[in-house]
Amino acid sequence: MAPQPDAASGTPTGRHARQVRLPQIGEAGQQRLADAHVAIVGIGATGSHLAELLGRAGVGRLRLIDRDIVEPSNLQRQTLFTDRDARDVRPKAVAAAEALNAVDPDLRVEALVTDLTPDNAERLLDGVDLVLDGTDNLPTRFVLNDVCVRERLPFVYVGVVGVEGQCLVIVPGFPCLRCYIPEPPPPGSLPTCDTAGVFGPAVTLITSLAAAEALKLLLGADDVRAGEVAVVDGWRGEVRHLTLRREPDCPCCVAGEQTFLEASAAAEPTVLCGRDAVQLPATAGPPQLDRLAEQWRDQGQVRTSPQMVRLDAGPDLGNRRVLLFADGRMIVGDTDDPAEARSIRARLLGH
């Protein structure tokens, strides 16, 4: 809702008044933001910052997509979450949506507790004006890149490892993510948040730059820095920009191939970045959460919500935390061994 001018001074008043006074935005621009619909995929370090910056700026509709729950180790760098969210093991998308609505009750925030895959990516991103990357892995980013290039959707790639952050604005006619990173590197060849850590100020710096570009895209500004990789060194306080070229043999934005989108979602376990846990993909239809919750009560403490069942298991299951989501995914904690995680699932679900 656009601010109304104060009768005495003619100065805009209300929640976004100081933003409306900017010549780059004004009342018409603020209305464009209010009418915009943005998807943020991954509501961790970068995603939570992006969601808060866009929500406070008045972007009217936000679709928050995340597969995970809040952990104590997240709180060093992930805004919108509290210690209580971690203690209650709340889904990140749900906790972030509630926090944003506490800031601005007029925001329309949709929380989707699910894993974006080639099988559901187009459906999850349907109807949005812009996609922001808050993920922590390249395979999902390549799927996002495929969808956005094919649908001609603006896409902002953002990533942070160690003290360095990067972002890249991808729009039709400019280099895409595969012009920058042609193929996924071999597993274990790049540093991750597990191996290199994450410096909180680097997250704040790079997401501020990415959010500014996102707002410019939504406002229709003519100075969006598409095709440039912004690189932030959060420790030294340095920012540099690398100009990309559109690779003439890029399989995605030039040849029109959507290799990652057209692949079937791999039914393989995923060792979650930054956590001692393994995610197991759904192997059957949606689970009957209430029935399973009752069956598991002799295994330990059980808590339920519309999105999942949480089991804090006893010694028989190694005192592990197990989460079963409504979409059929399971996260088994206190292990990075997929075989061990599968064994726990088999004991709990019988398959």
For range 40-59, the mean pLDDT = 98
Q: Does residue 282 surpass a pLDDT of 50?
A: yes
The superfamily (CATH) of domain 36-262 is: NAD(P)-binding Rossmann-like Domain (3.40.50.720)
pLDDT > 90: what percent of the chain? 80
The superfamily (CATH) of domain 270-349 is: TATA-Binding Protein (3.30.310.10)
pLDDT of residue 266: 57
pLDDT of residue 4: 56
Q: What is the chain's mean pLDDT, rounded?
A: 92
Nearest to 188 by CA among 117, 310, 273, 86: 273
Residue 187 CB contacts under 8 Å (≥ 6 apart), including other chains: none
pLDDT of residue 41: 98
Which range scores top for mean pLDDT: 1-15, 267-281, 332-346?
332-346
What is the tens place of the pLDDT at every residue in 115-152?
A: 999 999 999 999 999 999 999 889 999 999 999 999 99
Roughly how many angstroms between the first and final C-alpha of the chain, as a whole number?
52
Lowest mean pLDDT among 8-22, 223-237, 284-298, 308-322: 8-22
pLDDT of residue 8: 44
pLDDT of residue 11: 53
The pTM score is 0.89
Q: Does residue 196 surpass a pLDDT of 90?
A: no
CA distance 123 to 106: 25
Q: Does residue 34 surpass a pLDDT of 60?
A: yes
What is the tens place of the pLDDT at every residue in 198-238?
A: 999 999 999 999 999 999 999 999 999 999 999 999 999 99
Q: Edge to edge, what strands does the sheet with 130-133 contain?
A: 108-113, 61-66, 37-41, 130-133, 155-161, 164-170, 228-233, 238-243
Nearest to 160 by CA among 59, 78, 90, 272: 78
For range 87-112, the mean pLDDT = 96
Side chain identity at 61, as an amino acid letter? R
pLDDT of residue 7: 42
Characterise 303 by phi-psi region: left (phi > 0), alpha (psi -120 to 50), beta (else).
beta
What is the tens place of the pLDDT at every residue in 53-74?
A: 999 999 999 999 999 999 899 9
pLDDT of residue 238: 97
Residue 24 CB contacts under 8 Å (≥ 6 apart), including other chains: 219, 221
pLDDT of residue 284: 74
pLDDT > 70: what percent of the chain? 94
Q: Does residue 10 surpass a pLDDT of 90?
A: no
pLDDT of residue 268: 75
The residues spanned by each domain of the chain are: 36-262, 270-349
What is the tens place of the pLDDT at every residue in 299-322?
A: 999 999 989 999 999 999 999 999
Tell me whether domains 36-262 and 270-349 share a fold.
no
For residues 165-179, one letter each, b for 16 or more C-beta atoms within 10 angstroms of the residue's C-beta and e for the rest, the string is bbbbbbbeebbbbbb
What is the tens place of the pLDDT at every residue in 231-268?
A: 999 999 999 999 999 999 999 999 999 999 988 765 67
Q: Does residue 187 surpass a pLDDT of 80?
A: no
